[in-house]
Amino acid sequence: MCTAWSTGVTRICMCYVDDKVSKVAWLNRSNIIYAGQDKWSLDPRVDLVTKGQLEYSLRIQKVDVYDEGSYTCSIQTKQQPKTSQVYLIVQESIASLSNCTQAANSSVTKLCY
């Protein structure tokens, strides 16, 4: 799972591969985001994080509730394809109630999710 506790933060969904991998891709809801080093997504907030040949992670900057969902790292090895799924959960920021006024002898209820 890849969790963003509020909108606007940067999240990296990790994908590690071994040296026997020939092709790698990131998908979201069956849409190709990256195929190898080629970016298919038009979203400027999304990019690839690689460290050597063993990491192929997806970085999403300024996550939004619309980014929530399943992301798949698909790996092609010489023997068979493998997939690794992460689910990005994004919770919308809750506005602070610090500027509220309260009448005497009344109650205020704050809901937190």
9-44 tens-digit pLDDT: 888 888 887 767 778 899 998 899 999 899 999 999
pLDDT of 96 reads 46
pTM of the model: 0.72
Helix (H, G, I), strand (E, B) or coil at 43: coil
Fold classification of 2-90 (topology level): Immunoglobulin-like (2.60.40)
pLDDT of 4 reads 57
For the chain, the C-alpha Rg in angstroms (whole number) is 19
Nearest to 92 by CA among 64, 55, 60, 59: 64
pLDDT of 60 reads 93
Mean pLDDT to the nearest integer, 89-96: 67
Nearest to 39 by CA among 52, 29, 26: 26
pLDDT of 34 reads 94
Cα separation, 15 vs 73, whole angstroms: 6
What are residue 38's DSSP bridge partners?
Answer: 35
Could you tell me the two tokens for 12? 């990296």
Mean pLDDT to the nearest integer, 51-73: 88
pLDDT band for position 93 (cuts 50, 70, 90): low
Q: Does the structure show a pLDDT above 70 at 82?
A: yes
